Structure 1
Amino acid sequence: MDKKTKILLFSIAAVVILIILIAVTPEIVRYVDENRAVAIVNGEKITKKEFTINYRSQINYYGLDKAFLSQKVGDKTYEQQIKENILDSLIIRQIELQQARKRNINLTQAEKKAIDQQIDQYKSDSQSGAEFKQYLQTIGATENEYKDQVIKSQIVSKLYAEVTKNQKVSDAEIEHYYNSHRSDFIEVKASHILLKVSDSKEEAAKKKKAEEVLRMIKDGQNFEKLAQKYSEDENTKQKGGDLGYFRKGQMVKEFEDAAFSLSIGEISSIVKTSYGFHIIKVTDRKQLTLNEVKDEIKSTIESQKKDEYYQSLLEKWKKEAKIKKFEDVLKSVSI
């Protein structure tokens, strides 16, 4: 091969390499940038890409925009506060994943398959599939990156279950809780007549109608028959407005406050809620027995004990961890 041919081939090769470099350089730059650390936890990196996925996911979930994020509360913007909170949660999760690894806690093949099936189910439906695709684009994640986040979340759930499994509840604790919260275990049975308000323009007319119905009741007309005639609650009107039994926390606050303040047979004044105007009649009231709510109380106390114990472990693990944050990388993340 003569000298001119060698020079020509070398030049062609150089041009090809240059074209390849020009083509792949943006991808290389992006890859390097996304793999920068926003934090290092016990020697393990939390990447900018992973942080960005979680950050954009939260921004998307709450529907926040740049105008809101730029607002200040104290000496920080909402954007700074949200970023710091998400980074702290990812640091905690990294610590949890490390603790899970120490205990050989991972997902089974069946559990991983269930995640795949759930994703496939999203994708198979035309509407949810399009929404899922749009969601991935919004948060800047591939399907595998999304799946990785789900797997990590489920591993943490398994860690929680494993380390808290010995937190038990005694009968004495259940009885003490019942005696200390007896008012939480009162049920009232009530009926109501509802005049719905779907537009502020009709509010005055609906209130006037409710007052007329209340006068009829006070004049001695039958509550149940008036409910059948005037109530706009289609689920209860044919039953004379009967709502059945309910406890505190099961109705909107204004309705609940009124119902629990009434004696059996007593009728309320006009009660306004987000649904409209109500007239309420309490038809029964009873105290649930310890035996009726024992399982519920056990579950409540057990959850509290597990949460408190797990929180104490998290504080211990975090205190022992070596954590380094990279604020400059955090600042470079945007929506």
Structure 2
Amino acid sequence: MKRILTLLSIPLLIIVTACGETNNAQSGDIVVETSVGNITEEEFVQQLKDLYGETVLNELVQKKVLLSKGEELGIGEEEIQSEIDTLKESLEIEDDQQFQQFLQMQGIQSEADLRERFLSHLVLQNLVGHVGEFTEDELREEYELGLEVEARHILVNDIETAEELLERARGGEDFGELAKEYSQDPGSKDDGGNLGFFQRGIMTPPFEEAAFYTEVGSISEPVPTNFGYHIIEVTDRKEFEDSFEEVMEKLRDTLNNRKLYHMSQMQEELFENVEVNVLDEQFKLPKFTN
């Protein structure tokens, strides 16, 4: 049940709009008559394009991407229906009315909308792995990484600079001095990039993961985040005082948050790697054009 609710809370870039039956009216046909003037099909469609056109086009492009990737991965209606059946069974839903009430409570427009969400989930699950499912060995490995790490970092805007500074730092130049000269983080650069001790959940997921998996005294490979590129030197580590059993669920939440982040990143990459040529000059989709 927890896995299913997590799935439904995953932020999706795709939101499928409900569509009615196709209207066969021509562009000059009248769709509404009033005593003060008529509204033509052309006026009606243009107004919809002006108000919602770019949003709908984005949604349709994203839908095409997911459908294509789903086909490539061999994900069909059978797999999607299995997910829906599992959802109904876990919620003890016995009829269509209960199911529709559940969809409304979750803000899901229709079963078609739900199917699109499950398709997105299955595509990302195939690419990244299951959400919320971790072995005891994976949890114990995370436990061995300790409660907190102490680190300092250098933040720059491009990968080339990050790689150059990494080579210089690993070659023996003082990390703190490099941070003071080159780091773009105003909160830490004057202190040599020092961030002090921090636990899981404080830093953005890729930064956190790199910091905890870097050995004390070592410097990470460049880590991309929304802020730029980081090289991270881990200077100390504090072990857990609590037993593994006492913190196991917290560790599971940590790994789950990282998995959700990776899923979000993978979804964006799927869309960004698609070439889109917008033929209607009214619209621009910079996120999808190369």
TM-score (norm: length of structure 1)? 0.34
More helix by share: 1
Higher relative contact order (CA 8 A, sep 6+): 1
Point out the structure with max Rg over C-alpha: 1
Q: TM-score scaled by structure 2?
A: 0.38
